[in-house]
Structure 1
């Protein structure tokens, strides 16, 4: 019996050791890979950015603002940290990590939308945080959402199970070989697409319109974030990009959402660049769905925004 128990203990010890070794290798590797899933956090964690201007936001940032154009017009070094499908709480986490490992930017463009302060149950793209689950700030935020299981936080390597390409990528990156190359440009992913059918599905699902509830915890954190930027003397701008005009009619409380942003901008003296009625919003030519500009629209919008920011900066001198 003692021998049997001893063999079980030995077997478990071997398994645990293997899991720890795998976890160490994959985690270290994924913290070095520049494949697009992990690219932004890799650059943040390894202090590779140190940009003059940072773009925070969701897909409205990631797909709609070109750092190339911002850099050429404003004559600075920008980076787009847009995160697809997430609200403000994960955005704030990424911003905190940026400030922890990189020099503070001179300018932050906080891209706002109707869903910025809406809190989803699940965390879209949660695997991008998998190499950083041992960090308290990452653990705290990811536990607020569906995505990782309880076991993922306490048993090594388990969080990577079911993601074979990430495991392979992490393994080879550990040894300095990146199998999956980065895509996009400085965090920006242009969408060279034409208008699709997503809005038709939206109208069918929300015939009477949609009310978007703003999350009190997200609102509280949003103000803390702004106050922190102001205290650090970071020039922050609120930017509300254009939506396709017909979409705006389906959001029942859009005026309330924009009024909240306006109120906060006045409270903290933050310029609020609201493009909800910009002429771009009138044509499907510039959009691939009701809430996202395509490549043509994004480039036009980036130029408009850059010139407006440039004028504000020059007027403030």
Structure 2
């Protein structure tokens, strides 16, 4: 009996030592990954961190790949006489943008936000797994748990592990530490595309309606617009041009229109704008503009915003206390 108890005690001690070593390794490795992550000089993660923690631009641009590739800060700054940063990120939607906006507003309040929304952005087809990219910011921005909880109700518990926040990110982190040619193309978050659509070689898919709305995404869009309104930010909601589309609205767009009407938020719908429709020289594919198309869209949009801002007489930008 005594021998059995002795064996149990030894086993418990070994387990405790193993867990202690595991926790130490997690803390050390997680700390290294954290330092590498927040010291990147280029790439996706760097641009997100810069937008969250460094920019004081008077105009911020939010949205997925269309935002990232369609809005040129150089053009907008020249027309609006305001500083601009493009916070767009490929593959992200209103859930991500709302989390990022809340983080930014802890530090300062921009004058203007341009929110590019995809025609089917509020649907259920996108899932929630992609939002794990917010994990590195959770300790500093605990409000992001509202989005991460949609991925898993245990997400906050998992984040006790420091390395968990950086799962599958190591290669991208290392790439972001190395200066590369991408850096010379990026202009204040804007990533221009330089190819030109060739309809003879590329099959063009027209826009279709996805009617399966996601109540979480609808709720977060409402939050985004409401927060902007409460903070005195002038918000513009934009639907980008398509090379060709049989329809000008979707179930998502109808919801966006309804919410924007409630908050008296301006909407610009360029989906079937004749300046872009079937103009190959402005596109890289059916739904993404190249640098020429982005310049034209930024010019057209800035003219509308400039006129509106003159009427609004926005006050001077001030950091949040």
TM-score category, normalised to shorter length: 0.7 to 0.9
Size of the alignment, in residue pairs? 298
Once residues 87 and 142 of structure 1 are traced to their aligned partners in structure 2, the CA distance between those partners, rounded to angstroms, is 13
Superposition pairs for residues 66-77 of structure 1, below 5 Å? 66-77=72-83
Cα shift readout 1:125-145 (whole Å, capped 9, x = no counterpart): x46323224343233312323
Structure whose CA Rg is larger: 2
Once residues 200 and 98 of structure 1 are traced to their aligned partners in structure 2, the CA distance between those partners, rounded to angstroms, is 40
Q: Kindly tell me: are residues 196 and 83 of structure 1, through their superposed partners in 2, closer, same or farther at Cα, counting changes over 3 Å?
A: farther
Alignment match of 1:271 (pick from 262, 266, 275):
266
Give unpaired runs (5+ residues) of structure 2.
1-6, 314-321
Once residues 38 and 271 of structure 2 are traced to their aligned partners in structure 1, the CA distance between those partners, rounded to angstroms, is 38
Once residues 9 and 20 of structure 1 are traced to their aligned partners in structure 2, the CA distance between those partners, rounded to angstroms, is 16
- Structure 2 match to 1:10: 17
Give 1:105 shift: 0.6
Cα shift readout 1:241-278 (whole Å, capped 9, x = no counterpart): 21112xx22x6x83544443333333222222222232
Alignment match of 2:133 (pick from 125, 128, 146):
128
Judge conservation of contact 1:41–1:128 (CA < 8 Å) in 2.
Answer: no
Judge conservation of contact 1:87–1:118 (CA < 8 Å) in 2.
Answer: no
Once residues 159 and 234 of structure 1 are traced to their aligned partners in structure 2, the CA distance between those partners, rounded to angstroms, is 32
Once residues 243 and 304 of structure 1 are traced to their aligned partners in structure 2, the CA distance between those partners, rounded to angstroms, is 15
- Structure 2 match to 1:227: 226
- 2:263 corresponds to 1:261: no
Once residues 196 and 153 of structure 1 are traced to their aligned partners in structure 2, the CA distance between those partners, rounded to angstroms, is 46
Give 1:212 shift: 4.1
Give unpaired runs (5+ residues) of structure 1.
171-177
Judge conservation of contact 1:30–1:169 (CA < 8 Å) in 2.
Answer: no
Query: Helix, strand or coil for the counterpart of 1:282?
Result: coil
- Structure 1 match to 2:291: 295
Judge conservation of contact 1:244–1:291 (CA < 8 Å) in 2.
Answer: yes
